[in-house]
Structure 1
Amino acid sequence: MLLDARQIERVSGKARIILLAIEDITERREIENGLEKARKELASTKIAEDEAREYAESMINTVREPLIVLDQDLRVVTASRSFYSVFKVNPEETMGQLIYDLGNKQWDIPKLRDLLETILPQKATFDNYEVEHDFTTIGRRIMLLNARQIERVSGKERIILLAIEDITERREIETGLEKAHEELTELATELKRSARVKSEFLANMSHELRTPLNSINGFSEVLYDEIFGPLNEKQKKYVNNVLTSGKHLLLLINQILDMAKVEAGKMKLTLSHIPLKSLISEIALLVEDMASKRHLQMALEVAEDLPDIEADELKVKEILYNLLSNAVKFSPEYSKIGLRACRKGTEIEVIVWDTGIGIATENMGKIFEGFFRVDTPYSRLSEGTGLGLPLSKNMVELHGGEFSVESEGLDMGTTVRFTLPIVSEKAV
């Protein structure tokens, strides 16, 4: 209740009275309170909207790529700092403008119109739409566009967020990579063709040389064995020189032919049951004469229970001969070489070692290249093509084994390890 009291004098002036007015203002207070609450809610909503707007604009300005916000009429509501920076424009010529009128109408593209004008009605999106254009301020560029619909805080109005990414440099890199890939593919094709031609040439030349050389070696052996009559000491020495050189030349030709087969992917295996222990003894006996001429001690450590293997016998012989003869050739006189063979799980491990010239660290990556030879006084004095090691590695790997070479440096010796699969010990 609202009370209002006043003093009133009588007409006679001798006595005074008090007039008390009482008014019920309950409904008015309720209306006033409701209005005040509504005012506060509106103020709170206004603050929330302002805060939301500031937050959204802060987020937009934080993004590295250009962003613009469009209203329902596709006019620019706001744009990120990076948009102004990338396109070299200012807010005055951007805000409130229809997107199709920006710059030199760079976005006025029929396909882009269709995409943008379906976003709000259909709640659609679009991704990775490319625009290549000669922009007035930044020249010819390739832009990647992505767009989404976003509802305002009030929920009554929807807007479009348009993200723009300059992918010009990326496209140039991709184009460069594609061109480089094409060039590398062409180069690889040419290299394969050249390798094939070289392999065919080596194979043909080796065949042409090997045929007459076999005849020379055959006749030399006949002469050396004095089948056609006796030879004096000098004649026998010369015939032996011819035979020795012929056999060495035939070995080199065979290595070149094998290398050509490896490079052409034509080397095949003829597998058979091999008693490896006796095979090692056989090859060691062949190399022993070479070793004795250089006064080398050769140590053989072959496990008594060394099992047989399923392998190509001729190629295993060649591997063993290559490695042991290398150990002899690259070791100084009166030094030691050796071979160890034992079982390692499901494999045979063979180690050929020497105390010779070793391999320099910088040459370790080259030793499996065809025709590479370490340049040392020993290598200059010894014969060879540099094919023994790469051929041996290829033949081991063709069997499914592993091949490695270790050396701590020059004059520190060399250790070669290789493995070969084991055949069942019950095999006949």
Structure 2
Amino acid sequence: MASHTNENTELGKLKQKIAGLEKLEQQHKKVEAKLKTVNKQLQASENQLKAYNEQLRESEQKLNQQKEAAEQSREFAESIIDTIRQPLLVLDKNLRVITANQYFYKLFQVSPESTKGNLLYNLGKNQWDIPELKELLKKTLPEFSAVEDFEVEYQFETIGHKIMLLNARELLQKQGKERLILLAIEDVTKSRIYKKELERLNKELEIKAEELQQILYITTHDLRSPLVNIQGFTKEMEASLNDLKKLLEKMQIHPAEEKSLNTIMDEEIPEAIHYITSSTTKMDNLLKGLLSLSRLGRQKLTFRKLDMNRLMQQVLDDFEFEIGKNQVNIEVGNLPDCMGDDLQINQLFSNLIGNSLKFLKPEVPGEIVISGGRVENGCRFVVKDNGIGIPREYQEKIFGLFEKLDPKKPGIGLGMNVVKQVVEKHNGSIEMESELGKGMKFSIFIPD
């Protein structure tokens, strides 16, 4: 009985141990399940962390790229600014210098260290403390309005007297960023000095030209008096020669002496008179041409709107006999009205058409074509003929004084020079195209 009781006791203990083991196993399984869950969570967290790290790496890479691009853009912009041969400043709203280009440092003899971060007015020992500049910036910069070609004239301590044009603009930046001002400085000192000198020289040239015109006018007038006397005395010589011939016809003269006298009376004296007459005629034409040039130079222009169709008809009417005599075909297109002096424009086209008529080809029917039209800021007229043309080597000389295409032709070589002067007095231009044997073409621009 006691043995049976002991067995039951041992069996109970064994069952308790088994139950404890089962409970422990269940707890182990729960812990193991929890560990698996934790491991899964850790794995997920690790994967998420890896993803975050990858995103962070990509963001860092993009940020570095953006920083590099921004640095390149800044260097690129600075290199452009430094290349510009004009002083440039970038200022903040308080007029402190953010940056400047190399040309600013060079022109105003200041260093980057003494410039960046300092007030504009304090630069270079306060040499930018300019009252006009202060007043300008005080009025315009609070509203960040643009400044265009504001002129400042100032005596700088280091670089002397300067005349400058200032231009200012706000630099566009992203919203929320500090507003900046770009100040461009153009040194126009030399150009203004050159301009004043040019104006002085032009004025002096005008005075000299006026004096020359007066001298030319007086000289030609003074020369005409003795010329008229020579022409008069020559006619008297011709009349006296005829009277002398009549007297000699009534006188009894030895045949040998008569022959000698006839040689003198019929050949030598008439030849001398011919040379005198020819020379005085040339001199007379020359003086008339010089007088015409003198009048052209002194004439005051009266600009008005010209009916060019009417004016051209007047010009052609003056050449009616010569046109008919040479059977020249004249073609005139519809011409635009232009602004000019009536008398001088008439003279211009008279000389051009007269020139074409003078140099026709005898073996070919003559033809002169006149056309015109409106162009930008004015009118262009063209006079074209089928005459003998001009050799290439002569074309540069045609508008010179006393230049003649054919010395045998009448005239003294002033006509084309007058054409050039009229065009220049109207602030226009003239161009010529020609080939020997293929005629001439003159293109004239008359501005509004």
For the aligned pair, the TM-score class normalised by the smaller chain equals: 0.5 to 0.7
Q: Tell me the equivalent position of 2:147.
A: 126
Q: Which moved more, 1:267-276 or 1:61-70?
A: 267-276
Contact 1:130 1:143 in 2 (8 A): yes
1:233 to 2:264 alignment: no
Counterparts in 2 of 1:389 and 1:178: CA distance versus 1, 3 Å:
farther
Instruction: Give the SS at the match of 1:265.
Output: helix
Alpha-carbon separation, structure 2, partners of 1:113 and 1:156: 25
Between Structure 1 and Structure 2, how many residues are aligned? 312
1:217 to 2:246 alignment: no
Q: Tell me the equivalent position of 1:91.
A: 112
Q: Tell me the equivalent position of 1:186.
A: 207
Alpha-carbon separation, structure 1, partners of 2:104 and 2:278: 74
Instruction: Give the SS at the match of 1:102.
Output: helix
Alpha-carbon separation, structure 1, partners of 2:188 and 2:170: 23
Q: Tell me the equivalent position of 2:287.
A: 260
CA drift at 1:50: 4.8
Q: Tell me the equivalent position of 1:273.
A: 321
Alpha-carbon separation, structure 1, partners of 2:318 and 2:243: 31
Q: Tell me the equivalent position of 1:115.
A: 136
| Aligned residue type for 1:96 | G
Identity of counterpart residues, as a percentage? 27
Mark the runs of 5 or more structure 1 residues left unpaired by the alignment: 1-9, 278-305, 311-318, 324-338, 352-360, 373-386, 401-415, 421-428
Alpha-carbon separation, structure 2, partners of 1:184 and 1:233: 63
Alpha-carbon separation, structure 2, partners of 1:45 and 1:371: 73
Instruction: Give the SS at the match of 1:342.
Output: coil
* Counterpart mapping for 1:1-20 below 5 A: 18=31
Q: Tell me the equivalent position of 1:245.
A: 272
Alpha-carbon separation, structure 2, partners of 1:210 and 1:309: 39
CA drift at 1:185: 1.9
Alpha-carbon separation, structure 1, partners of 2:323 and 2:129: 83
Contact 2:402 2:414 in 1 (8 A): no
Contact 1:69 1:160 in 2 (8 A): yes
Contact 2:130 2:154 in 1 (8 A): no
Q: Tell me the equivalent position of 1:64.
A: 85
CA drift at 1:260: 0.8
| Aligned residue type for 1:307 | Q
1:142 to 2:168 alignment: no
1:307 to 2:334 alignment: no
| Aligned residue type for 2:195 | E
Which one has a larger percent strand, Structure 1 or Structure 2? Answer: 1
Query: Residue by residue, what CA displacement relative to the aligned partner does 1:168-223 show, whole Å, maximum 9, x if unpaired?
Result: 33223323322322222222222222221221122222112222221112211332
Contact 1:202 1:257 in 2 (8 A): no
Mark the runs of 5 or more structure 2 residues left unpaired by the alignment: 1-19, 296-314, 331-354, 369-384, 420-435, 441-448
Q: Tell me the equivalent position of 2:103.
A: 82
Root-mean-square deviation (CA), in Å?
5.2
CA drift at 1:69: 0.4
* Counterpart mapping for 1:389-404 below 5 A: 392=411, 394=413
Instruction: Give the SS at the match of 2:207.
Output: helix
Q: Which moved more, 1:389-398 or 1:62-71?
A: 389-398
Alpha-carbon separation, structure 2, partners of 1:367 and 1:54: 57
Which one has a larger percent helix, Structure 1 or Structure 2? Answer: 2
Alpha-carbon separation, structure 1, partners of 2:229 and 2:131: 72
Query: Residue by residue, what CA displacement relative to the aligned partner does 1:351-405 show, whole Å, maximum 9, x if unpaired?
Result: 8xxxxxxxxx99x969986699xxxxxxxxxxxxxx966962548869x9xxxxx
Counterparts in 2 of 1:88 and 1:397: CA distance versus 1, 3 Å:
closer
Counterparts in 2 of 1:119 and 1:270: CA distance versus 1, 3 Å:
closer
CA drift at 1:248: 1.8
Contact 2:90 2:183 in 1 (8 A): yes
Instruction: Give the SS at the match of 2:182.
Output: strand
CA drift at 1:225: 5.2
Query: Residue by residue, what CA displacement relative to the aligned partner does 1:33-86 show, whole Å, maximum 9, x if unpaired?
Result: 7x979x869878766655554443333223222211000101100111221122
Instruction: Give the SS at the match of 1:78.
Output: strand
Alpha-carbon separation, structure 1, partners of 2:329 and 2:365: 13
